[in-house]
């Protein structure tokens, strides 16, 4: 053979070999079927009826067998779920086109009649009556009509830009009307949805066992059946140190509630993957502006400026986190980098205190109800002391806090926080800035309310326009110093490396729909 021919043969062989190995590698990395995924959670669910469940971890638990009309991805983009498309024909009317060929886990069909039934149930109109997070909004529908078996028309009483967000909340899950009618008030022991897993057994306070639903409608991108897993188990382990130990020993495969300290250390563990969600949890301190000395705006400014937020991040959050500039963190589309909040400045804080006319040593009272809040509070307490403000901390349990802070206004502030999610920001503003809300600022009701409502339902949901309104609201809040943003901390999701295809949704939690185990 001549040299060139030899070379060509060599090149050809190499290319074939590469192609062959690549294909093998790709095939080998493909999803495997089978296995049981074990997740650990700290708190048990208050109900396994998705329309009653109150969120947090219970939302993950119910989403394994329930689905909503609209699905999301981690950035908050809306994706087709049980509805393939939707449109707002006018600001008060929305039409959903439903997916065909979907069956509930009891074999009945998913169709427009079922959707209508579900919204009536969420609104609390179907016996036995339920009350859940979606009740108020569902009640605000004027009508829900099944136009044809796969088209639903919903008429709202007033425009609500958050309506689409509402449609992907776990509490608007579509459950089987047949199952509800069959089980009545025992439905919550036999929840039936369209999701990838069937609830097999629930041992209250201990475990939830799921098995895969063979008739699940969704397929993976190659058209293969989902889910990959055979079974799933959720274990309730309240103590965070034990939960972390359980992850390391392999007793559980996943923890979506892990604390910063543990997560950061786990990064060094070769067997464990850590996902960091930046700016997930916004810690903040609403101030009770109706209660002296908090009714003094310069006092509030002094408090705001005396807090060294970086110190909080460095010590309590192991250096991971950022200083907030407003209500929304970069996770939300409503984040605006142009907004400013008070900077840490001891001199200006002391000035503000002087301007307030209140003497050094003035004190106010806060309540904390969990160890994280207690840690933040203690640090802030030490920081405020540097300016001469005295903060007294009451260590109470949640129920006491709820009743004494929120209902009776016994405290001047509370160390709390809220998750930044892909949910509609109008909803969040509603909770925190509406004058009648639980953390409200009653000093400027009219302006707040007007803006809050506007923000919620701004013309057709134009994001830029709504951002402008949020900026106006921010200015109000800033001038009034009615609250203090502390830190934006990270959320962490940890799992063992053999857990693959872990996808987060808009609220930064994941379901196990497309998860497979490389074991």
Partner 1 sequence: MGVYILQRLFQAVIVVILVSMVVFGIMHYLPGDPILVLSGIGMEGFSDEEIAEMRHKLLLDRPVYIQYGHWVWNLIQGDWGKSSSTNYPVLMEIKIRLPVTLQLAFGGWIIALIVGLTTGVISAVRRNSIMDTGATLISIFGVAMPNFWMGILLIYLFSIVLDWLPTAGFVSVFEDPVQGIRHLILPAIALGFMQAAVLMRQTRSGMLEILNQDYIKVARAKGLTERTVTWVHALKNASLPILTIMGLQLGRLIGGTVIIESIFGIPGLGRMAVQSIFMRDYMALQGVVLIVASGVVIINLFTDLLYTFLDPRIRYGGRA
Partner 2 sequence: MNSEVETSAMSDEYLAPRGLKHFVGRLLKVRLAALGLFFIVVLIFCSIFAPVLAPRDPAAANGYRALESPSRDFLLGTDYLGRDILSRLIYGSRISLLVAVLSIGITVMIGVPLGLMSGYLGGWIDTVFMRLMDALYAFPPLLLALTLVAALGPSIINVIVAVGIVMIPTFSRLARAQTLSVREQTYVIAARTVGSPVRRILFRHIWPNVMAAIIVQSSLGMAVAILAESSLSYMGVGVRPPTATWGVMLAEGYPHLESNPWLSIIPGSAIFLTVLSLNLVGDALRDVLDPRLRGVT
Interface residues toward partner 1, by CB under 8 A: 44-47, 49, 52, 54-56, 131-133, 135-137, 188, 203-207, 235-239, 241-243, 245-246, 248-249, 251, 397-400, 402-404, 406-407, 431, 437-438
**Strands, E assignment, 20-69:** 36-41
Cross-strand bridge partners of residue 416: 284
Kindly tell me which of 139 and 403 has the beta carbon lying closer to partner 2.
Answer: 403
Find which of partner 1, partner 2, none residue 91 binds, CB within 5 to 8 Å per kind.
Answer: none
Q: Which residues contact 294 (CB under 8 A, 6 or more apart)?
A: 287, 288, 300, 364, 412, 413
Kindly tell me which of 81 and 132 has the beta carbon lying closer to partner 1.
Answer: 132
User: Rounded to the nearest whole angstrom, what is the least distance from the CB of residue 162 to partner 1 in the complex?
Assistant: 11
**Strands, E assignment, 91-126:** 93-98
Find which of partner 1, partner 2, none residue 224 binds, CB within 5 to 8 Å per kind.
Answer: none
Q: How far is CA 510 from CA 38, 63, 74, 275, 440, in A?
A: 13, 9, 9, 12, 31
Kindly tell me which of 27 and 399 has the beta carbon lying closer to partner 2.
Answer: 399
User: Rounded to the nearest whole angstrom, what is the least distance from the CB of residue 366 to partner 2 in the complex?
Assistant: 10
Q: How far is CA 119 from CA 172, 182, 202, 328, in A?
A: 8, 18, 26, 30
Kindly tell me which of 160 and 308 has the beta carbon lying closer to partner 1.
Answer: 160
User: Rounded to the nearest whole angstrom, what is the least distance from the CB of residue 235 to partner 1 in the complex?
Assistant: 6
Kindly tell me which of 60 and 264 has the beta carbon lying closer to partner 2.
Answer: 264
Spatial separation of the C-alpha atoms in residues 321 and 262, rounded to whole Å: 15
413-414 and 363-368 strand pairing: parallel
Contact 302/346 with Cβ under 8 angstroms? no
Tokens 């872990």 correspond to: 502
Kindly tell me which of 239 and 360 has the beta carbon lying closer to partner 1.
Answer: 239
The reply to whether omega before 126 is within 30° of 0 (cis) is no
Kindly tell me which of 259 and 282 has the beta carbon lying closer to partner 2.
Answer: 259
Find which of partner 1, partner 2, none residue 446 binds, CB within 5 to 8 Å per kind.
Answer: none
Spatial separation of the C-alpha atoms in residues 461 and 91, rounded to whole Å: 9
Kindly tell me which of 193 and 196 has the beta carbon lying closer to partner 1.
Answer: 193
User: Rounded to the nearest whole angstrom, what is the least distance from the CB of residue 431 to partner 1 in the complex?
Assistant: 5
User: Rounded to the nearest whole angstrom, what is the least distance from the CB of residue 492 to partner 2 in the complex?
Assistant: 14
Q: What are phi and psi of 434, to 5 degrees?
A: -65, 140
Find which of partner 2, partner 1, none residue 378 binds, CB within 5 to 8 Å per kind.
Answer: partner 2
Contact 473/456 with Cβ under 8 angstroms? no
Kindly tell me which of 296 and 490 has the beta carbon lying closer to partner 2.
Answer: 490
User: Rounded to the nearest whole angstrom, what is the least distance from the CB of residue 379 to partner 2 in the complex?
Assistant: 5
Q: How far is CA 345 from CA 172, 322, 326, 475, in A?
A: 46, 17, 18, 20
User: Rounded to the nearest whole angstrom, what is the least distance from the CB of residue 62 to partner 1 in the complex?
Assistant: 12
**Strands, E assignment, 136-263:** 141-148, 151-156, 197-203, 207-212, 231-236, 254-255
Find which of partner 1, partner 2, none residue 131 binds, CB within 5 to 8 Å per kind.
Answer: partner 1
Find which of partner 2, partner 1, none residue 132 binds, CB within 5 to 8 Å per kind.
Answer: partner 1
Find which of partner 1, partner 2, none residue 133 binds, CB within 5 to 8 Å per kind.
Answer: partner 1
Contacts with partner 2 by CB under 8 A lie at 240-241, 259, 261, 265, 308, 311-312, 314-316, 368-371, 374-375, 377-379, 381-383, 385, 392-397, 400
User: Rounded to the nearest whole angstrom, what is the least distance from the CB of residue 196 to partner 1 in the complex?
Assistant: 24
Find which of partner 2, partner 1, none residue 343 binds, CB within 5 to 8 Å per kind.
Answer: none
User: Rounded to the nearest whole angstrom, what is the least distance from the CB of residue 202 to partner 1 in the complex?
Assistant: 9
- Residue 254 has which token pair? 């996943």
Measured in whole angstroms, how far is the alpha carbon of residue 265 from the centre of its chain?
Answer: 24
**351: exposed, middle or buried (C-beta count within 10 Å: 0-12, 13-18, 19+)?**
middle
């Amino acid at each position: 053979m001549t040299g060139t021919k030899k070379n060509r043969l060599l090149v050809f062989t190499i290319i074939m070999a590469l192609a062959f190995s690549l294909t093998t590698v790709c095939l080998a990395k493909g999803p495997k079927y089978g296995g049981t995924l074990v997740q650990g959670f700290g708190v048990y669910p208050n109900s396994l009826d998705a329309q009653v469940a109150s969120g947090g971890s219970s939302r993950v638990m119910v989403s394994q067998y329930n689905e909503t009309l609209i699905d999301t991805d981690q950035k908050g983009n809306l994706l087709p779920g049980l509805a393939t498309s939707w449109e707002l024909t006018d600001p008060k009317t929305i039409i959903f086109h439903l997916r065909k060929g979907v069956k509930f886990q009891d074999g009945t069909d998913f169709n427009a009649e079922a959707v209508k039934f579900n919204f009536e149930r969420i609104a609390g109109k179907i016996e036995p009556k339920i009350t859940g997070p979606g009740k108020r909004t569902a009640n605000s529908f004027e009508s829900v009509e099944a136009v044809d078996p796969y088209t639903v028309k919903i008429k709202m009483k007033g425009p609500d830009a958050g309506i689409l967000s509402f449609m992907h909340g776990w509490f608007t899950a579509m459950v089987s009307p047949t199952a509800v009618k069959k089980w009545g008030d025992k439905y919550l022991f036999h929840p039936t949805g369209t999701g990838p897993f069937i609830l097999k057994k629930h041992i209250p306070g201990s475990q939830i066992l799921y098995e895969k639903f063979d008739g699940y409608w969704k397929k993976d991108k190659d058209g293969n059946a989902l889910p990959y897993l055979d079974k799933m188990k959720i274990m309730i382990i309240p103590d965070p140190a034990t939960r972390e130990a359980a992850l390391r020993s392999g007793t559980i495969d996943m923890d979506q509630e892990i604390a910063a300290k543990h997560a950061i250390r786990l990064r060094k563990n070769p067997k464990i993957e850590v996902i960091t969600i930046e700016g997930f949890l916004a810690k903040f301190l609403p101030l009770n502006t109706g209660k002296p000395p908090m009714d003094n705006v310069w006092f509030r400014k002094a408090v705001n400026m005396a807090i060294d937020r970086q110190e909080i991040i460095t010590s309590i959050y192991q250096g991971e986190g950022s200083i907030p500039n407003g209500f929304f963190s970069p996770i939300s589309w409503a984040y605006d980098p142009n907004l400013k909040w008070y900077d840490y400045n001891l001199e200006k804080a002391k000035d503000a205190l002087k301007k307030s006319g209140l003497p050094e040593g003035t004190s106010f009272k806060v309540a904390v109800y969990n160890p994280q809040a207690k840690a933040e509070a203690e640090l802030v307490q030490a920081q405020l002391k540097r300016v001469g403000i005295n903060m007294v901390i009451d260590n109470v349990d949640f129920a006491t806090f709820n009743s004494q802070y929120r209902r009776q206004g016994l405290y001047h502030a509370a160390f709390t926080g809220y998750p930044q999610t892909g949910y509609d920001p109008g909803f969040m503003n509603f909770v925190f800035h509406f004058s009648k809300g639980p953390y409200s600022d009653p000093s400027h009701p009219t302006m707040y309310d007007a803006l809050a409502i506007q923000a919620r339902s701004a013309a057709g949901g134009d994001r830029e326009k709504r951002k402008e309104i949020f900026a106006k609201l921010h200015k109000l809040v800033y001038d009034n110093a009615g609250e203090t943003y502390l830190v934006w901390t990270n959320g962490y999701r940890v799992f063992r490396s053999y857990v693959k295809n872990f996808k987060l949704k808009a609220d930064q939690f994941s379901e196990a729909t497309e998860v497979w185990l490389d074991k």
